[in-house]
Amino acid sequence: MSSIRTLLALEWTLWILTGSVWAAQPPNFVVILADDLGYADVGFHGCKDIPTPHLDRLAAGGVRCAAGYVSHSFCSPTRAGLMTGRYQHRYGHEHNPPYAPDDATIGLPPSEMTIADMLSRRGYVTGLIGKWHLGAAPPFHPMRRGFHEFFGFLGGGHRYFPEAWTGTTEYTTPLERNGQPVRETEYLTTALGREASQFVERHAARPFFLYLAFNAPHTPMEAPADVIARFSHIADEKRRIYAAMVSVMDQEIGRVLDTLRRCGVESNTLVWFMSDNGGPTPANTASNQPLRGTKGTVYEGGIRVPFVVSWPGRLPAGKVYPHPVSSLDVAPTLAALAGAEWPADRPADGVNLIPYLTGEQSDPPHATLIWRQNGSLPWAVRLGRYKLVQADAQTAPELYDLEADVSEQNGLSAQRADEVRRAREIFENWQKAMSEPRWQGPKSRRTDARSPARQTRPMSRSAEPRANFPQ
């Protein structure tokens, strides 16, 4: 740990001596990612049965992007796009990587530069708290991808109570701090919030980038019994557990927001919140209403997510931004604000959103957004107000007017053949510039666990651990 602090001090000194430091301290960045959160499961989207006061506070003080998208409908590919600002299809990261600590071929390619790399070179202290899921072998470790500090786990999911963290499988490994296993006593979501708050406290005096990647409310369905009891009004037992998981996450986000204020850096910190994909309703009871589809689909319910950008005094408070924006915009936005150099040979697919969110630029930031899975199908193109969905090889393409039909119920392909043809051409041209998937997703489910879709018993510290759950 002392060597890390020494390195950070040397980087900071070099930055000042080379004259790169701003006249005023550059902005801090906190990017918060929920895991499998439903579009409708936050108060600022009208949720009634799960209070999210701290997320609602964030939305009220910033810009809520009503058409906020992620670049994929499930976990790891979205995170790859988030870290690089580039369609993950460009470098073949289109499936979840299997948990393979000994396989140095499966993960976010080292040839790709992450936003943590760019900000670190700009003099920021960078930290990841939570879930990585971009490769478990040493070459893909967060601390080799631009992060100075890491507390969390490398795989695609984890058990929530520390009694289970004594194994070697993906969901039962001990949490680690900077490459070393640690003993933990708190519920996972609480521990991540604590560590994020402490990161802010340690580094409030210099520019920092905190990537806080919660595991909640991803399966397994586990929450503290006393929190579950607060939701006795919810009839569905699994939904009660889900509500408790979201509630604890909201509480910990509040802890981080309070720490920013207490440390006097709230007004100089941009906070970004979103989910990594739409909710997987059968698995965790997430609600994506009024959107069609769930995690794993290219309908709106799989790719449109709660999406908030807040920067007190710099971005308007309480604004609803209507145009489509993407998780691909995170890295270009942060790089632009920090004055970081973007790699010339790795052009970004995202844009700096700040001029659009402030109203300085009135045109939409993206003419098109594109999704693809499995190297070919399904795929979708958002083109202005229209979206074309090709769900499989057997069905005809489906065109929807999202401004009039956000639920994607009324197909317009027959009436608007020109729009169908135009969107298909855009996809086919885009497809030529993309790569094939570099690996397939995990091919088998672990046999030493019950399916999280069927696990509804509230878990507590005295409950018997059950190892490993599917992604």
* Three-class secondary structure assignment of 280-321: CHHHHCCCCCCCCCCCCCCCHHHHECCEEEECCCCCCCCEEE
Catalytic choice (89, 133, 148, 218): 133
d(CA 100, CA 91): 19
Nearest to 217 by CA among 307, 288, 272, 157: 157
The alpha carbons of the chain give a radius of gyration, in whole angstroms, of 21
Residue 48 Cα distances to 43, 45, 339, 393, 448, angstroms: 7, 9, 41, 39, 37
Catalytic residue, from 75, 89, 158, 218: name it.
Answer: 75
Question: Which region holds residue 231: left if phi is over 0, alpha if psi is between -120 and 50, else beta?
Answer: alpha
Cβ proximity of 173 and 167 under 8 Å: yes
Please name the residue that has the structure tokens 């107000």: 385
Task: Output helix, strand, coil percentages for the chain, rounded to the nearest 5.
Answer: 30, 15, 55
Confirm whether 133 is a catalytic residue. Answer: yes
* Max Cα-Cα span within the chain: 66
CA distances from 213 to 29, 35, 56, 131, 249 (A): 14, 8, 19, 5, 11
In 3D, which of 310, 309, 292 has the Cα closest to residue 301? 292
> Cα–Cα distance between 70 and 246 in angstroms, integer?
20
Among residues 83, 86, 46, the alpha carbon closest in space to that of 64 is found at 46
Catalytic residues: 75, 133
